[in-house]
Amino acid sequence: MAQKLKANTEDKNVTQLVMDSAHQIWLAGLGAFAVAQTEGPKLFNTLVKEGESVQARAAKAASAQIDQVSKTATGAWDKLEQVFEERVSKSLNRLGVPTYKDIQTLSKRVDQLNASVQELVQAGGGARKAAPRKRAHKAGGKETAARAG
C-alpha cells in the first residue's frame, strides 16, 4: 500500500506540474495580448518607418544600377554608331563619293577662287568682257558636218 500511496502522490505532483505549466502559458498569452494592445500601434509605426527606410535604400540602389546599365548601353550604341559610320564612309570612298569634309574643302576653295576673280575684274576696270561663244545649230547635222570637214 505504501507503493500505491507513493504512486498516487507522484501522479498528483505530475498533474499539478502540468496544471501549473498550463496556467503559466495562459498567463503568458494574456500578457502578450495586453502588450500587443498597448504597444501594438507603436510597434506598427516603428515597422512602417523601418519599411520606408528600406524602400528608400532599395530605390537608391536600383537607380544606381539603372544609371550604370544606361551608361553601358549608351557606350555600346556610340561604338556601334562609330563602326557603322566608318564602314559606310569606307564604302562610299571606294565608290568615289566625296565626303562632307571633301565638299567643305572644295567649297572653301571655290569661295577663294571667286574672291580672286572678283579682285582681278575690279583691277582690270571691268572693261574687258569675255567674247560670247557661238553655238552650232543642228539643222539635220549638215552645218556641224560642214564645219568639221
> What is the structure's pLDDT at 22?
92
Higher pLDDT, 10 or 147: 10
pLDDT band at 144 (very low <50, low <70, confident <90, very high): very low
* Residue type, position 48, single letter: V
Instruction: Give the up-direction half-sphere exposure of residue 123: CA atoms within 13 A in the CB hemisphere.
Output: 6
Ramachandran assignment for 82, one of left (phi > 0), alpha (psi -120 to 50 degrees), beta (any other):
alpha
Span of 4-8, 72-76, 83-87, 136-140 with lowest mean pLDDT: 136-140
In percent, how much of the chain has pLDDT > 90?
27
For residues 59 and 52, the answer to whether their CB atoms sit within 8 Å is no
Q: In angstroms, rounded to a whole number, what is the distance separating the alpha carbons of residues 104 and 112?
A: 12
Q: Where are the domains of the chain?
A: 2-78
Q: In angstroms, rounded to a whole number, what is the distance separating the alpha carbons of residues 105 and 112?
A: 11
> What is the structure's pLDDT at 111?
96
> What is the structure's pLDDT at 139?
53
